[in-house]
Structure 1
């Protein structure tokens, strides 16, 4: 039986052509082309089907994913030689997908705009940093509706005392590809034809990066928020981690074109967001409840012995020695720190490839030793880059049969490269 037979996937919806993007770009260093890596192991994939079905619980507090939102005034383009102009943005992207194929070309482009990159990476030493500030304000949702207020009763009985939790799923980077997300959730039996939760007491963790590059990042966020409410009513849950693109998106919204001090000169969140596939219509549709929800996402979580991260980096250790300390530090930073501190967090969580190569298992054990768990599950780095298959000689799209298990079976990569004609991956854990 081939890996494709064991991990079947639906035909992906057509959201338009995907031009192969480079990795996330920072004006402080560069990422190198990965070397060839071993392919997928025959036993690296598990079936991902749910035995639960049928939920119709209307979300009372947030709009459904298909509803329209009032438009916000359009953001002004950046000014000054250090920022990308709108004309440059249009040249870089076709429907939000970078067209620059060669990293040297991209580096030359950044130099033209005053964003000269510094070779190497900054290894910060702010270990164990925990800030203490008030949490951002929450949204007034009003009193919960009683059962009598609902237009119909929910079909799920309460769980029996001591009943085991439902199956656990993880979702890789979505990057605005709402149609592909819906298709895969339906294929797994996690939502129904009307995009409502149908997974009973199942548990789902999104690994971050909802927006940028794809056509409908706000639609993705709306759907996840809706499913979070519906899953809770069914006795399950739908939760999400904060990715580096959440930090970038929130930074573009809050700080716009305000200069930040990168290690290679002055840049801005707005310029970096556009360079990394930011979609103007997502920024215009961003509302206060989106900002509040995104700002409170955890950076790290532990479920069933799986340490869930967005980024394949050890930078989490620079924010705390426990999961609670890391999440508190990130939340406090977003609540009350300035643009430079936000930029530093974005820069740190954009690092990647820490678990690859001979030193990969050591880096994994360092994180597991600090935060617990037996395995790391992460997104962020597309599997084609981890395996060295990102640029096929014949121009064919990358072959992604399922999650990629590596680092002596200690790490599972979940970014299937949907932005580069790969797959949007959803997997039931454990992956054997």
Structure 2
């Protein structure tokens, strides 16, 4: 299991009984670079990702200490917990450098400042963008959205009728998860006024965060014994200041996020798992099932949903394309776009021999070009990815 998602119990990180690919077989894929050479340093500065060590920080310093939440009498779970990394697979050697293309420049035409006039009924839809896992890295998110021309210097929507989908995991590990949620909610309102939209999927960390807020230390039945949402949330980088700042309107918004969506032939998911098929045979069925569960079911049902959507790596190895086809056959689309599994883990390049951060030039295309991975590993000194579709 990667240190990116941990919870008590020997829950398996792969996609379950439908496919059991050999996780030592790395996917054969291609990077696509979304920026000209030298962009990262110019846009972010050389120190952007040095403050938080992401996965390495968790390995060295977890559990973090903090003030107890004013609702739950909390104690840090598993004191002295020392997560271990899996053996690093050998990197795939693909011969010549793979070809790279631009994902799409910022909007060529200047857009009016917010607020916009109401769009005309015959105006075409705007370009489609996806955003990978943010995990509380608010300033990195602002910088990338600004680079793509999607927000202005003041952080307001600047993309006209463009469409954006966030792929989930707004909180945990990074410095300002609630700030990320507030920004996305703000952009959703501003985009709607411009005739575009900004929408988001529910990730496994949304389920975990909501579970920690609702159930706290209430026991859940894990296969390894009793655990709790609060303990699992802490183990997965939960930040006490995010929980302290969580308000009713955040909970309402997060609870209504869809789990799956289809846009322009792209099947948008948070997790690279086939577990969605266990919740319905259509996109509305899946989303309704998750919403009904969050509205009415108890702690064990929430825990099971979190556990299923924390599975990963279904699209790796020889069985990966078949797993993608199962989802596409059920829900439509010609390609899956997902977050959840950091690209350095997918490609086996977690740690360079010289200790340098992983190099993530752009989204990773694999599983016979059927899957696009969008988690650039911002929590492990990688990169927060925003890409224009299609790639």
TM-score, length-scaled by structure 1:
0.72
Structure 1 residues 342-380: Cα deviation after superposition (integer angstroms, max 9, x where no partner): 000000000000001111000000000000000000000
**For residues 229 and 396 of structure 1, do their structure 2 counterparts lie closer, same or farther at Cα, with a shift above 3 Å needed?**
same
**1:313·1:351 contact (CA, 8 Å) conserved in 2?**
yes
Structure 1 residues 323-354: Cα deviation after superposition (integer angstroms, max 9, x where no partner): 00000000000001000000000000000000
**2:272·2:315 contact (CA, 8 Å) conserved in 1?**
yes
Q: Partner of 2:91 in structure 1?
A: 36
**Cα offset for 1:15?**
6.6
Query: Is 2:351 the counterpart of 1:391?
Result: yes
* Match among 286, 292, 304 for residue 326 of structure 1: 286
SS at match of 2:207: helix
SS at match of 2:36: helix
**2:161·2:196 contact (CA, 8 Å) conserved in 1?**
yes
Gaps of 5+ in 2: 1-31, 57-84
**2:33·2:101 contact (CA, 8 Å) conserved in 1?**
no
Task: Number of aligned residue pairs: give it.
Answer: 326
**Cα distance between partner residues in 2 of 1:7 and 1:233:** 35
TM-score, length-scaled by structure 2:
0.79
Gaps of 5+ in 1: 22-29, 58-154
* Match among 53, 62, 65 for residue 18 of structure 1: 53
**Cα distance between partner residues in 1 of 2:131 and 2:309:** 19
**Cα distance between partner residues in 2 of 1:31 and 1:333:** 33
**Cα distance between partner residues in 2 of 1:6 and 1:160:** 39
* Match among 278, 282, 295 for residue 255 of structure 2: 295
After TM superposition, the structure 1 = structure 2 runs for residues 397-416 of structure 1, keeping only pairs within 5 Å, are: 397-416=357-376
After TM superposition, the structure 1 = structure 2 runs for residues 20-419 of structure 1, keeping only pairs within 5 Å, are: 20-21=55-56, 33=88, 36-37=91-92, 41-43=98-100, 46-51=103-108, 53-54=110-111, 56-57=113-114, 156-419=116-379
Structure 1 residues 133-182: Cα deviation after superposition (integer angstroms, max 9, x where no partner): xxxxxxxxxxxxxxxxxxxxxx5343343332100000000000001000
**For residues 395 and 14 of structure 1, do their structure 2 counterparts lie closer, same or farther at Cα, with a shift above 3 Å needed?**
closer
SS at match of 1:5: coil
Q: Partner of 2:36 in structure 1?
A: 5
**Cα distance between partner residues in 2 of 1:15 and 1:225:** 28
**Cα distance between partner residues in 2 of 1:20 and 1:12:** 17
**Cα offset for 1:393?**
1.6
**Cα offset for 1:36?**
3.1
Give the root-mean-square deviation of aligned CA atoms. 2.2
Q: Partner of 2:14 in structure 1?
A: none
**1:400·1:416 contact (CA, 8 Å) conserved in 2?**
yes
**2:133·2:170 contact (CA, 8 Å) conserved in 1?**
yes
**Who wins on radius of gyration, i.e. which is larger?**
1
**Cα offset for 1:392?**
1.4
**Cα offset for 1:51?**
3.0
**For residues 288 and 203 of structure 1, do their structure 2 counterparts lie closer, same or farther at Cα, with a shift above 3 Å needed?**
same
**For residues 55 and 177 of structure 1, do their structure 2 counterparts lie closer, same or farther at Cα, with a shift above 3 Å needed?**
farther
**Cα distance between partner residues in 1 of 2:35 and 2:152:** 24
**1:7·1:45 contact (CA, 8 Å) conserved in 2?**
no
**Cα distance between partner residues in 2 of 1:31 and 1:330:** 31
**Cα offset for 1:55?**
5.3
**Cα distance between partner residues in 1 of 2:87 and 2:300:** 26
**Cα distance between partner residues in 2 of 1:37 and 1:12:** 29
SS at match of 2:365: strand
